[in-house]
Amino acid sequence: MAEKKFNVLPGFGLTLGYTLFYLSVVVLIPIAGLFLRVFEISWADFWRLATTPRALAAYKLTFGASFIAACINAVFGAILAWVLVRYHFPMKRFMDALIDFPFALPTAVAGLTLSNLFAANGWLGQYLAPLGIKAAFSPLGVVIALTFVGMPFVVRTLQPVLENLEREIEEAAATLGASRFRTFCSIIAPTLLPTLITGFALAFARAIGEYGSVIFIAGNIPNQSEIAPLLIIIRLEEYDYSGAMALAVVLLVISFVLLITINLLERWASRYQH
């Protein structure tokens, strides 16, 4: 009789089964239900519903604003993470705690706060209005809101890597005569690049699905400042379930393709680093 092999990870079968069950209930079954519902309509109807001028404008604003916000967070989030890790200054703990504020703040409250700040008579908007900059109730307001909600993802992703970065390597490079700029480009940047891409991907994915904080500051003008998630809600309120499903599938497919592309870039950057 064959002896049963000893598994160094007891309970693997049970935990794997629970994992697959949990993922199926939370992710796979809802996505499958969405696609099955869309398959009930013809390709011609799907294309017509998904490519209306209003829908195309919503896609452009959603993905364009999400990309811009993720790029802003990648740059300034990296700088913020660097300052929090490398320097000591008064109220550092308080500033570090503020990074998680967008996580805890309800999105509707964030949207109301940002719209009041950047309105023409708001604390910040009153200085932008004379310059001809309309921050609230415009596409710029969408970028501001998405930047706000996505900022913690980049900072919290980079912080552990910066904390574990060996400073002895930088000191050795300086001893050998390398300048700070060359040390950064040759040692620090390649080490941080894969993590930075990960933070960018997380911020980008978070921005695509954002709803609550955007609708209060965007103005929600069709073909101008209307995001795709809001258009889906409008289609549902109009009992146009096929139109809502078509928009949702387009968002899901494009997001999936973009995330795969970013993951491939991250893998390439990790391979380049090694």
Q: Percent of the chain beyond pLDDT 90?
A: 16
User: Model's pTM, two decimal places?
Assistant: 0.84
User: Which residue is listed with tokens 């996580």?
Assistant: 103
Instruction: Give the domains, in start order, of the chain with CATH numbers.
Output: 41-273 (1.10.3720.10)
CA 240, CA 246: separation in Å to the nearest integer?
10
CA 264, CA 183: separation in Å to the nearest integer?
26
The string of pLDDT tens digits covering residues 1-31 is 455 555 556 667 778 787 888 888 887 888 8
For residue 157, give the nearest of 29, 13, 266, 12 by alpha carbon: 266
pLDDT for the residue 210:
87
The helix, strand and coil proportions of the chain, stated in percent and rounded to the nearest 5, come to: 80, 0, 20
The string of pLDDT tens digits covering residues 245-271 is 889 998 888 888 887 887 787 777 666
